[in-house]
Structure 1
Amino acid sequence: MYSEEKEALAGICHMLYQRNLVTACDGNISSKVSKDHILLTPSGMNKGLLLPEDIIVLDLSGNTVEGNGRASKEYPMHQLIYQMRPDVKAVIHTHPVFATAFALAGKNIPDNYLIETTMMLPDIALAEYAPPGTQALAEAIRPHVPVSNAVLLKNHGALTYGKDLTDAYNKMEVLESIAKTIIMSKVLGEPQVVPG
């Protein structure tokens, strides 16, 4: 069931791992493959070693339709995004070092330093802390989902979503690149804002 879609999702997991956007077993990635089914990475599995057959097929209530592993406990967060944003077909949640550093400090990524921010990721949001894998975490992102495609999760990580897996992946890669560039520039001095 959904063999090509599973291949694509596993490929994105490998790219995230190779680009240091996900470490070992952290994070979770999903794609909505039909009006009834979502593919989701299993809990406790290294994303760099994930195989297509490891991916779990869920119905929209979170019940396993196919797969032997345990679905990521972060499913409520993915489910909420798909419910609120019919245009979204893929969700990526990881703990990339530099974007997570902003989240850990309780700071959002400024949108006035790099033009890539406003071009690729307008309206980056910062969600309040809630324990991972809880309905409270889904509720923490709720206010941001309609207006943002990238959310920092306080003391936790980052979340991006888009029209397909590649779009969601590109957003995560850009988010981390922007965060890294800003942090690195602070070593040299205070970053200068884009002239307005």
Structure 2
Amino acid sequence: MEFPAGRIPFEFEREDLAKVVRETMDRRDTNIVGGNISIRVKDENNEEFYVMTPTMMSEAYLGQLSADQILVIQPHTRKVISGTGKVTREINMHEAIYDANPDIKCVFHSHADQAMFWATTGLNMPNVTEATQKLQEIRTLKWHPMCTEELAKYVSEEIKKLGNKALRNGFLLNSHGTLFTCGGKDMLPLTALHKCLADVDITEWNAKVAFKQTLLQKSGVLDGYYSEGNKIGTLQDVIKGVALYNKKVKQNVNGD
């Protein structure tokens, strides 16, 4: 891999990822335990690498990372090509996801504040806000221990089942947090990164709204979950394992 003297490889991507980490902390889209974020990049020789946050990004560094602390990692060997941090134990999950779908450009795992409630229940999060409808189902996966090959293999199989939906998807990891993936054959890695940040943020708002609609159902004010003027299901559907979203309205993939 070649790069200008005095510069670090993938400098622009690493600077941007460091900014995204700070923004994620500021928005309470993760907690002090942090999570981990990666993008899939290629050099001038078309060789693939992961640009990835180091372990302890939030607890040790309080989310205040420099570009040099962001790692450039060789896939599968897990060799650090550049960077001063240490590789997270959850790189196995990132690797497994990238192997499952070659068009995924970003894997974004965080411990988001409001979404964690739904993740701990084992219930699928009702998708009720307009901004989140592009994600369709927001499912809570079965529990597997964090950082294990067991979890990595399980998530990989779930990604394979999604096909192209994995190119804009949000999962809840049971009792663990959120997992967003984004990409496309011609999508730039930083575009995928920013879309993932947007998705975790809007899902946080949805988590809060869905919880309040749940309370209104229990108090008898509502007879179900509502999205864009449509009743999309009930609490009983959620208890039965249904992942609710608004199937009646064509979704706008762009923002406001």
Matches within 5 A, 1:134-145: 134-145=148-159
1:37 aligned residue (39, 43, 49) = 49
Runs (5+) with no aligned partner, structure 2 = 1-8, 184-191, 232-247, 249-256
**Aligned residue among 43, 46, 67 for 1:52:** 67
Mapped partners of 1:37, 1:172: distance in 2 = 24
Instruction: Answer yes or no: is the 8 Å Cα contact 1:56–1:67 preserved in 2.
Output: yes
RMSD of the TM alignment (CA)?
1.8
CA distance in 1, matches of 2:72, 2:40: 10
CA distance in 2, matches of 1:4, 1:166: 14
- Cα 1:142–1:107 shift into 2, 3 Å: same
List structure 1 runs of 4+ shifted beyond 6 angstroms. Answer: none
Q: How does 1:75-154 map to 2 (within 5 A)?
A: 75-111=91-127, 113-118=128-133, 120-146=134-160, 147=162, 148=166, 149-154=169-174
SS in 1 for 2:50: strand
Deviation at 1:98, TM superposition (A): 1.5
* 1:74-120 C-alpha deviation (Å, 9 max, x unpaired): 10111111112222111110011221111101111123x334343x2
Contact kept in structure 2, 1:102 and 1:108, CA below 8 Å: yes
Q: TM-score, normalised by structure 2?
A: 0.70
- Match for 1:100: what amino acid? M
1:67 to 69, 83, 86: 83
Distance in 2 between residues matched to 1:175 and 1:132, nearest whole Å: 22
Q: Which runs of 5+ in 1 are unaligned?
A: none
**TM norm structure 1:** 0.90
Given that residues 127 and 140 in structure 1 are in contact (C-alpha distance below 8 angstroms), is that contact kept between their aligned partners in structure 2?
Answer: no
Larger radius of gyration: 2
| 2:200 counterpart residue number | 172
Deviation at 1:31, TM superposition (A): 0.8
Aligned length: 194
What displacement does 1:137 show?
Answer: 1.1
SS of equivalent residue, structure 1 residue 116: coil
- C-alpha distance in 1 between matches for 2:159 and 2:139: 9
